[in-house]
Structure 1
Amino acid sequence: MSSDIILETRGLVKEFKGFVAVSDVNLQIRRGTIHALIGPNGAGKTTCFNLLTKFLEPTRGQILFDGQDITREKPAQIAKRGVVRSFQISSTFPHMSVLKNVRVALQQKLGTEFHFWKKEETLKQLDERCLELLGFVGLAEFAHLEAIELPYGRKRALEIATTLAMDPQLMLLDEPTQGMGLEDVEMVTQLIKKVAANRTVLMVEHNMGVVGNIADTITVLQFGQVIAEGPYSEVSRNPQVLEAYMGSADETL
């Protein structure tokens, strides 16, 4: 496995009672890049994510992270290695302040998340790092608001901040701009680019404008199989991809 490949799958298969949701998927995610996993509904994208973060066990195949076989590891072991899935692992607490949401994530990294008997004053040593992370995602001015008060797009930014608190090497973003208006899409897109400057991002995304703007490599799935891979300029002209999305190879993405 090349040192510039941070995550690799080899012949990854997931079957559900005879239905093949993921079929012989071979991925190579290069370190320091944004890699997008796209495809029409039912293509197997979310199943792939669940396999990579070990919420599902593969039927066959291998998953390697940093050259190590992690196929049989548990989700907590995967997270400790630095593979963190945003919007799943890093769920927010709506009636807790924005700052305290990030503090909880930092406690997880320190292994003190279950020290409920500790006085709050002892946790304030984490606040400086919390504010750094909130500043990074543009939320420092909202630190003392309850998370439920944040607009939708900024809630996604908070989820990214809590994920960053886990100090991930590889961030998996599942539909980061889903349900957003144009302004929030642009904000979160720019935030993903900023996050990716120092780490690797693997994302599932339906918004082709976002994918075309920020992804270095795109893998296209259909019926659980990879039908195309490459930069947006190539993938967007691929006849199989156009057929999968538009029903006709004469259309354009």
Structure 2
Amino acid sequence: MTDDPSQDTILETRNMTRAFSGFVAVQDVSLRVERGSIHALIGPNGAGKTTCFNLLTKFLQPSAGRIFFNGEDITRSNPVQVARRGLVRSFQISAVFPHLNLRENVRLALQRRLGTTYHFWKSGRSLNPLDMHALELLDEVGLASYADEQASNLSYGRKRALEIATTLAADPELMLLDEPTQGMGHEDVGRITALIKRVSVGRTVLMVEHNMSVISTIADTVTVLQRGKVIAEGSYQDVSRDQRVTEAYMGMPTEAL
């Protein structure tokens, strides 16, 4: 257990550091994510955001520092262990199988959680009870009407929504979303932004995102990284006025953030 962390804190890092052959990608990052919030991690390219996500989801181990989830030290856990605790990164269970329909994609993610994915000797009818839950998850992301559609026929934005549905199938307490609107057109960005806001109810979201209009719309707290270090944290309004942040974005005017 931790030294009595706040019950309102779902995820905490203390001086989290990761070095690669002398290069320090993440240095002394102390992060606190409040339960029930949408917390954004931003920064210019090479700031260490992806390395932070890899450390939090245990695809990498820190060189120094500690990581806590729900008050438990998960510093030396592995990806499967933290996912079972309820800390789920979108791509971990978000593989979209193009030749399956949407219901089948979500049902497969539900099987993974139940540990029955590879029970080939069971009748296909044994999976029917999962259909109702799959449809509920598709409805939650606005895709129920596409349940029988082949995933390959979806637009890019709807495929990302399907990925979120498969992530929800893991019953996450904390969802880590890595660039959820990357490569999308304006209409899809708006749809996914609204979706993230909707599915965050009763959950916590930590997201890496470059689109500042998305951040300004839904993020409760923004942490800014530069060269592996936290240089600012607070509301979007506060960090967008911080001179260190505008300098980190190579002199971009404040209104561009």
Short-chain TM bin: over 0.9
Q: Distance in 2 between matches of 1:33 and 1:229?
A: 14
1:12 corresponds to 2:16: yes
Distance 2:211 2:254 in 1: 20
1:79 corresponds to which residue?
83
Q: What's the secondary structure of 1:84's corresponding residue? A: strand
Paired residue type of 1:112: T
Structure 1 residue corresponding to 2:187, chosen from 183, 186, 189 = 183
Question: Aligned partners of 2:60, 2:95: CA distance in 1, in Å?
Answer: 19
Aligned residue pair count: 253
Deviations 1:3-54 (A, max 9, x none): 0000000000000000000000000000000000000000000000000000
Kindly report which structure 2 residues correspond to 1:74-153, keeping only aligned pairs within 5 A, or say none. 74-153=78-157
Q: What corresponds to 2:71 in structure 1?
A: 67
Where do 5+ consecutive residues of structure 2 fail to align?
Answer: none
Cross-structure match for 1:24: 28
Partner of 1:214: 218
Matching of residues 165-204 of structure 1 within 5 Å: 165-204=169-208
Secondary structure class of the residue paired with 2:128: helix
Whole-angstrom CA distance in 1 between matches of 2:105 and 2:123: 17
- Confirm or deny: 8 A CA contact 2:97 2:105 kept in the other structure: yes
TM-score (norm 1): 0.98
Partner of 1:36: 40
Distance 2:221 2:254 in 1: 23
1:3 match: 7
Of 154, 160, 163, 1:159 maps to: 163
> Any stretches of 5+ residues in structure 1 without a counterpart?
none
C-alpha separation between the residues in 1 aligned to 2:184 and 2:141?
Answer: 17
Q: Structure 1 23/157 Cα, relative in aligned 2: closer, same or farther at 3 Å?
A: same
Deviations 1:142-201 (A, max 9, x none): 111111111000000000000111100000000000000000000000000001111000
- SS of alignment partner, residue 119 of structure 2: coil
Contact 1:36-1:218 within 8 A present in 2 as well: yes
**Do 1:239 and 1:249's aligned partners in 2 also have CA atoms closer than 8 Å?**
no
How far has the Cα of 1:246 moved from its partner? 3.4
2:92 paired with 1:50: no
